Structure formats: C-alpha cells, structure tokens
Structure 1
C-alpha cells in the first residue's frame, strides 16, 4: 500500500496527538462500546475486531474510503468485509493463521444478531476514534494499539488484570539498542515474555534506524497468554516484521526449548498449508478435465 505519515488528530479533528496517547484513547472507546449493553463477554472478539480493522488498513491505498465503507456497512456486512480481509491476508501470509485464530472465531461461528451488532458498534467506535489514521499510516510503527485495547477490555471483565508490563518507549529503545549490538540481517531477537510484542516494535524501530529491514530478522516470542500471542502475530504484520516470526504459548521455565519447538511447529504448519494448496490445485485441475 502507499503510506502517508499523518500526525494524528484529537477529538476536535485538528489537534495532533502522540501515537501512544492516540492508541490509549482508541482503547478506551473500544472497551466502552464493547461493554455497552448486554452481549458477548469475552475480550477476544473485540480485540479481533480492532485487529481486523488494522489488517484491512494494510491492504488498501485509501484508508479513508475503507473507513467510510466499514462505517456504512450493516453488522452482517461488516462481518462479510472482515472475512474478506482475513482471506486476503492469510493468502498473502499463511504463517499468521497458526496464531490469529483465537481472535477470529466470530467470523465462522453464529454469534447472533446481538453479537454482530456489538461487533459493529465496537468497530464504529474504533473508526470514529481514528484507528485507521493510526494503523493504516506510518504512525503504526510508533505504538502498540492492541496491547492497550486488550488491557482495557480485560479490566472490565477480570478482577485481576493479566500481568502484562509495558516498558516506556525511551527506556525500551535504550535497552534494545544495547542488546542488538552490531546489527546484521539474519540476526535473532528473542523476547520470552513477549506480551503483545511491545519490545518487538521498539527493536524494529532500532533495526530500521540502522538501515536494516526488520523483515530480514528472526523474531522469537513466547508468552503464557494466548490472546497476547495472537495480538503479537497481528502486530508483526502491522510493524512489518516479515514472515520469520516464531511464537510460542506456554510457560518457558517448564519448556526451555520453546524456541526450537516454535521453529519446528511453524515449519510443519506451513508444510501442511502447502500440501493443502497443492491438493486444491489438483482438484481444480480434475474439475476441468
């Protein structure tokens, strides 16, 4: 897509705001819309809705037209758009399918009219708060939107919010710059408490500042939180980390070889996808005989 570096707008429509502040504002609006009235309780559908909008923004050249189309859609129409977005995304990046499924079950399950209305209300809140001005422009490199959204959603549903630490950007940048040392393409970056990938984002910024494409790196991340890992997979798309992202859900102290297992699991998964695609091609061939 063609990217533009927007400054971001506040509620007045003309006041530039920091990307991280903007992400927090969107998170608050999303959580408020999601829990307005009765409906689906879990945070995964709302997080998946925001992830869908972010992913859609990576596929288009005119995010303002995408926003208008999504806002004008019916609840059923929005779900149809979401299905198309993820079909296109997974066709281009089949590796993410291994991890994003916890965020997408509502696309393949009947959540009912009330559930679809709840999804649409949440999507409209995110769009009206300027999500695509954040996630469909170069400003997406400057913040983690999905982390605050997940935190805001959980704070309404859990008596104890999952312990996810978000390191301030300046501190993280200094730490990552030291950790990476002399940077070369093909180098590995590993975070065994990855959360929604915040340190990945900062590391990618450092990598870019040194003239290296983050897609030329290897990214390994683990966490006990399945939703956070799913968000990291989506953030990998948003931040341009490339196809070599290896993720693991589980307790690393109980599984010290998690990185090797993540690498093997990803290879097996992609092999299955390749065989499936070959099988579908063979079926298409046979149908034309």
Structure 2
C-alpha cells in the first residue's frame, strides 16, 4: 500500500465508509498533528495546508504524484510547493484569491524552523489520512473537508468535531432537494449563514442530479467568520461552483446590502488585478492589501 493512503479511516472492501466519515477522520488527524506541535493555535494555517493539498490535486490531476511529491518534500520545500500551487491557482481563478487569502498568510511569513516543521507534520497527516482520495476524485462532491477541520481545530483537544456548526450532508441534501422545485441555469442561491458552504454543496448536488452545471449558477454567501468564508471560497473551487461565487465576511444585520457590496468589492479587486504589470505576481499584490 502506498504510504499516502488513508489509514485509520480508510474504507476496506467489506467495510466502506462514507466520504463524510472520512472527512471527519481527516479533520481529527490533521488537528491532532497540528496541536501536538505546540505553539499558538493559528487555525488558519492547518486550514490553509488542507486547502493547498486540495488545490494541488485539482491542478495536477494525479493524486499519487501529488502525494509522493509532498510527502518527500522537506518543510522548506513544502512551503515552496504551496506558493507555486497558489500562484497557479490564483492565476487561473483570480476571482477566488481575495476571499481565500486569510488562509495563505503563512506562505509569506518569516516562519521559524519549528513552525515549518509543524506545517509539514500537518500536511503529512492530511496526506496519510487520505485527503487526496476526497479532494482529487469525484468524492470531492460528497463532503466538506474544511468545515469539520475548522470545528476540530477550535475544540483544541481535537477529540471530536463540533458537529453543531455544520448541517449533516444527507440532511442538507434532502432539505435542499425539497426546497428547489424548479432549478434553471443562471439561478442564484443565497445563504446568509454560509459557514464553510455546506448548503451550497447540497444545492450543487441537486443541480447536478437535474442535469445542470453548478458553474452556470450564482452563489451568494455571508458569515461573520472570516476563516469560514475563506474555507467556503476553497470549497467553491473543490465543488466546481464556478466563477460566480460572491462571499461576504461581516455582520449582515449591519450591512443589509451585503450582496451588492460583495459584488462591487470583487469587481474592484479584479480591476486592480487586470492592471497589474506582467512581472507582478497576484499573490505579491495580495500581500500589499
């Protein structure tokens, strides 16, 4: 068995586990590895690590190659790989860059050796727990790997995931299927407490089951939690929600026109990106914001 394969949560031929159960195991493995390293909690770092592995799998399309390359990398080389992954991803999908950036600050910080090793240990835990089986295959549509991880990271002991934060996938899909009587291309979906996007995933499943493409829809989500919004942006990439994902981090009660503000903010950002000189990297631009 290749060493990147899932260990404690992997489905066997006679005992398959669901993608959601696998995602929960992944969350506990990554959070445990991160907390064992000591130091400050910084949940944005392990969230960004899992997001990086997901983005790499989508870019390369060969899970075994991604896992082998990342597992064999030194801590310093892993950070360099992560920078390359996000430079390529941001170039292809600049519409996501601003929302995702809260998960990427560690790529540019002057990290000491202990933190670099922590980063690598968390990445190895994700890879050995079989993350790429979830985020680089068709199973990526069946679960949210970032929502449970955010819950596990905030429970400090990482012994369980705060499931109260997230609607179970089967319940979300059932509720969404009932609510969406007539789905048409170009339709908009809105969630004012989007979290990491669980209801978006459920709606996207309904859209696909009815022979349509989620990328032809518009998705509006708001939440007071900036990290959850960043995770929702990554999930939009994983779930194939397309370029029309508009996310707002803030209190919608204080900003009732948040959806319009999200559209305008993204339009302004993309205008700035289009003005960049060819030699200026998008990620370098983000650092200055």
The residue that corresponds to 2:169 in the other structure is 169
Unaligned residue ranges in structure 1 (runs of 5+): 1-7, 282-289
- Separation in 2 of the partners of 1:280 and 1:38? 36
1:208 aligns with 2:208: yes
**Runs of 5+ unmatched residues, structure 2:** 282-289
- C-alpha distance in 2 between matches for 1:232 and 1:176: 18
Given that 1:226 and 1:249 are in contact with CA atoms closer than 8 Å, whether structure 2 keeps it comes out as yes
Mean Cα deviation higher: 120-129 or 262-271: 262-271
Matches within 5 A, 1:226-241: 226-241=226-241
2:60 alignment partner, SS class: coil
Residue 205 of structure 1 and its aligned partner are, at CA, apart by 0.4
Q: Using the TM superposition, give the Cα deviation of residue 41 of structure 1 relative to its aligned residue in structure 2, in angstroms.
A: 2.2
CA separation of 1:268/1:132 partners in 2, compared to 1, >3 Å: closer, same or farther?
same
Report the TM-score when normalising by structure 1: 0.89
Structure 1 residue 251 displacement after superposition: 1.0
Q: What's the secondary structure of 1:35's corresponding residue?
A: helix
Q: State the partner residue of 1:11.
A: 8
Contact 2:75 2:117 in 1 (8 A): yes
Residues 1:13 and 1:150: Cα distance change in structure 2 (over 3 Å): closer
Do 1:10 and 1:17's aligned partners in 2 also have CA atoms closer than 8 Å?
no
Question: Aligned residue for 2:133?
Answer: 133
Matched, 1:29 2:26: no
8 Å Cα contact 1:23-1:144 kept in structure 2:
yes
Once residues 118 and 10 of structure 1 are traced to their aligned partners in structure 2, the CA distance between those partners, rounded to angstroms, is 20
Partner residue, 2:220: 220
Q: Distance in 2 between matches of 1:135 and 1:12?
A: 15
After superposition, where does 1:17-96 map in structure 2 within 5 Å? 17-96=17-96
Is the counterpart of residue 244 in structure 1 residue 244 in structure 2? yes
Once the 2 structures are TM-superposed, how far is the Cα of residue 175 of structure 1 from its aligned partner? 2.0
Judge conservation of contact 2:31–2:149 (CA < 8 Å) in 1: yes
Please report how far the alpha carbon of residue 212 of structure 1 lies from its aligned counterpart in structure 2 after TM superposition.
Answer: 0.7
Per-residue deviation at 1:181? 2.2
- Equivalent in the alignment of 1:261: 261
Residue 13 of structure 1 and its aligned partner are, at CA, apart by 5.6
For residue 53 of structure 1, report the CA deviation from its aligned partner. 0.5
State how 1:187-206 maps to structure 2 within 5 Å. 187-206=187-206
For the residue of structure 2 that corresponds to 1:155, the secondary structure is coil
Q: Is the 8 Å Cα contact of residues 10 and 22 (structure 2) preserved in structure 1?
A: no
The Cα RMSD (Å) is 2.2
Give the TM-score normalised by the residue count of structure 2: 0.89
Once the two structures are overlaid, the 10-residue window that deviates more, 118-127 or 39-48, is: 39-48
